[in-house]
Structure 1
Amino acid sequence: MDFELPEEYRSFRDMVRRWMDSEVPKDWSRALEKDEHHYPFALWDKFTQAGFHGVGIAEEYDGQGGDVVMQMLLARELARSLGGLAWIWGITSFAGSKSIGLYGSAEQKAKYLPLIATGQLKAAIAFTEPGGGTDLLGAMATTADRVDGGWRLNGEKIWSSSAHVADYLLVIARSDRGVEKKHQGLTLFWVPTKTPGVTITPLAKLGMRSMGSCSVHFEDAFIADEHVLGEPHKAWYMLLPTLNNERIMVGAFCLGVIDGVLEDALDYMQQRKAFGGIIGRFQSLQHYVADIATMQKTTELMLHYCADKQSRGETVGVEANMLKLMASENANAAADMGIQILGGMGYSAETDMQRYWRDSRLWRIGPITNEMVRNGIAESLGLPRSF
């Protein structure tokens, strides 16, 4: 049993960390996040120049190669500075490269993966229903009806991050109403955002502001057969492996936030003076950073366990949920303690603690609430279904 990363992974991690410190420092990230009306295209372009959009995409499709572990190392290092804005990379990586790479036909892979790898295509996820939240299947009101040459899409999605600048939307809709179980009869679509009948409206929110989140309305939007991913009516069975990947990615982002919180807390405690000396000598604050450091290490171990397991093709559903649960609560608690350590400056928009707190607060809700995660974990242990 070896808990150390191989040299290849350590070299990649260290390269990304140096690049982030040089190209995307925290003060620049903080400035990006303040402007909720302007998507950070400059950040996207930096990722393109660095080749990050191609991490996890095979070289035959102009990608950089790399497995789930390498993607999670990248996610962690991005979030240390960017916090939730690391999703600028993560959304297209999940919605595009993961989905096209797993469910796409040979023609779809050849067409879209090179565009994603080279930063020429942005994607967004449009799964959540306005009246459903975590109850995606029970609330599924978006429908897809078969017509000549394709499908007619009607309905509405909400909290589709970056949809207003995306080229394509990954959309799940009910395509067969005559099924016995809610997870049956669903189809996955790769919808061009310029399709007539698709209307995208930005929403105001607490964190990750400049990334933008939107409602998406479909009114008799025609989606050609070539934009169906995988087999019609079988979307839920296809999605499960990528949903696990999304939870692992959230774990990596949360760990990056913990990294940033600990880094900033230690720096402040060693410089700020009060009552005749640096505040780092106060035992109560030392206990806070000890707790944050412990959260960092336990989250790291669980992340590496899940990412390694998935990279080897092993089932990781329950563990990925445990990681998402633990990582999101650790990150939010760490950021809250970070605010307390900085005092008034922790509440100030001039520092990053408040940004880490606002961004990590979302991960306790999405992509699935921690309450629902706990339900699933309990059920996996043999207890009766509670919902």
Structure 2
Amino acid sequence: MDFSFSEEQLAFRDMVRRWVDAEAPKDWMRKLEADELNYPFAFWDKLKKAGFFGIGIDEEWGGQGGDIMMQMIFARELARTAGGLLWTWGLTSFAGAKSIGIYGTPDQKQRWLPPMAAGDLRVSMGMTEPGGGTDVLGAMKTFAAKVDGGWRVNGAKMWTTAARVADRILVLARSDKNVEKRHHGLTLFFMDAKSEGVSATLLPKLGMRAMGSCSLTLDNVFVPDSDVLGEPGKAWYMMLSTLNNERIMVGAQCLGAIDGVLEDALAYAMQRHAFGKPIGQFQIIQHYIADIATWQQQTELLLNYVAWLQAKGEDCGVQANMLKMVASENAVKAADLGIQILGGMGYSAETDMQRYWRDHRILRMTPISNEMVRNSIAESLGLPRSF
């Protein structure tokens, strides 16, 4: 079992690291994130100019190619400075390109993948229902009724990030109420975000503020048959194949955040003096930094292992859930210790420790809560289902 990167992967990592330091430094990302009312279009444009939206999209559709390992490397390097603003890239590259690449027809791929690869099509996801949270199936009230030439969709979604600036929204809706099981009768729509009846309202929140999460109202929205992904009624089975990638992406983001936390903690520990010496000479500060470095190593090993399994095509659902749980908890713990190390400056909006904490606290609850992850792991070990 060898997790060493190839020469191509190392060269890609080093290129991305240089680009991030030059084009997306922490102080700029901090200013972008603070502006809750404005989406970070300037950041999007830089990613577009660099061609990064093509990562993971096949060359035949205008992309750069690359497997989950390349996506993981990019996500980690970018999250080191961008934190939660990683999803400026991630929503279109994961939610859009990954979904179209797997579920899309040749015509749909031709329509949507080239503009995604070029950075000309912005994607949002509408999955969570008001009052639903992790219980997506139990709370699903958004309904799609079949009509001539397409569907009429009515309902509401919550935490639909970037919906107010999106070109397309990936919407999960119930299309059949007469089903034996809750995961039957669901359909996935790649909805035109500018359609009549689509309304997005900004939701103020703790972290990733500039991404602009929204409540989404769908009032008799018409979606043509050509914008349905996969077979109607079978969406849940289709989506299962992308869940591991989502958790790996979260793991890479959290690891990148830990990288950023450790980087800043070390710099501050040597710069800041108290009682006549650098605080990095104090044993407790050294212990805090040692803990952060250990969480970094633990997360990196698990991330590389799960990505390696996924790249080989092996079933890694349990391991991907473990990664999501461990990575999100380690990132939050690391950022919290980082705040403690910086003291008052860690609490200040002039530094990034508070941003790393705010941006990653949500990942203990989404895309699936860590409590539900633990339930799933226990069930995989033969224990009875707890929900």
Q: Tell me the TM-score range normalised by the shorter chain.
A: over 0.9
Cα displacement string for residues 337-369 of structure 1 (whole angstroms, at most 9, x for unaligned residues): 000000000000000000000011010011111
Corresponding residue for residue 24 of structure 2? 24
Corresponding residue for residue 253 of structure 1? 253
1:115, CA displacement in angstroms? Answer: 0.4
Corresponding residue for residue 188 of structure 2? 188
1:7, CA displacement in angstroms? Answer: 1.1
Corresponding residue for residue 382 of structure 2? 382
Corresponding residue for residue 177 of structure 2? 177
Corresponding residue for residue 129 of structure 1? 129
Q: Tell me the number of residue pairs that the alignment of Structure 1 and Structure 2 aligns.
A: 387
Cα displacement string for residues 317-355 of structure 1 (whole angstroms, at most 9, x for unaligned residues): 111100000000000000000000000000000000000
Alignment root-mean-square deviation, CA: 0.6
**Which secondary structure state, in structure 1, belongs to the residue aligned with residue 256 of structure 2?**
helix
- The residue type paired with residue 372 of structure 2 is M
Counterparts of 2:251 and 2:188, CA distance in 1: 25
1:213, CA displacement in angstroms? Answer: 0.2
Corresponding residue for residue 277 of structure 1? 277
**Which secondary structure state, in structure 1, belongs to the residue aligned with residue 160 of structure 2?**
strand
Determine if the alignment matches structure 1 residue 101 to structure 2 residue 114.
Answer: no
Cα displacement string for residues 33-73 of structure 1 (whole angstroms, at most 9, x for unaligned residues): 11111111010010011111000001111101100010010
1:185, CA displacement in angstroms? Answer: 0.5
TM-score (norm 1): 0.99
1:3, CA displacement in angstroms? Answer: 2.5
1:93, CA displacement in angstroms? Answer: 1.0
Corresponding residue for residue 138 of structure 2? 138
**Which secondary structure state, in structure 1, belongs to the residue aligned with residue 299 of structure 2?**
helix
Corresponding residue for residue 116 of structure 2? 116
**Which secondary structure state, in structure 1, belongs to the residue aligned with residue 156 of structure 2?**
strand
Counterparts of 1:195 and 1:34, CA distance in 2: 30
Corresponding residue for residue 160 of structure 2? 160
Corresponding residue for residue 67 of structure 1? 67
- The residue type paired with residue 302 of structure 2 is M
Counterparts of 1:116 and 1:225, CA distance in 2: 21
- The residue type paired with residue 70 of structure 2 is M
Structure 1 stretches of 4+ with a deviation exceeding 4 A read: none
Corresponding residue for residue 237 of structure 1? 237
- The residue type paired with residue 139 of structure 1 is A
**Which secondary structure state, in structure 2, belongs to the residue aligned with residue 151 of structure 1?**
strand
TM-score (norm 2): 0.99
Cα displacement string for residues 135-177 of structure 1 (whole angstroms, at most 9, x for unaligned residues): 0001100000111111110100000111110000000000011
Counterparts of 1:237 and 1:106, CA distance in 2: 20
- The residue type paired with residue 359 of structure 2 is D
Counterparts of 1:370 and 1:93, CA distance in 2: 24
Determine if the alignment matches structure 1 residue 81 to structure 2 residue 81.
Answer: yes
Corresponding residue for residue 219 of structure 2? 219
Please, which runs of 5 or more residues in structure 1 have no aligned partner?
Answer: none
**Which secondary structure state, in structure 2, belongs to the residue aligned with residue 351 of structure 1?**
coil
Corresponding residue for residue 308 of structure 2? 308
Corresponding residue for residue 39 of structure 1? 39
- The residue type paired with residue 46 of structure 1 is K
1:310, CA displacement in angstroms? Answer: 1.0
- The residue type paired with residue 3 of structure 1 is F
* Mapped contact 2:3–2:308 kept (Cα < 8 A): no
Cα displacement string for residues 268-301 of structure 1 (whole angstroms, at most 9, x for unaligned residues): 0011000011000000010111110011011011
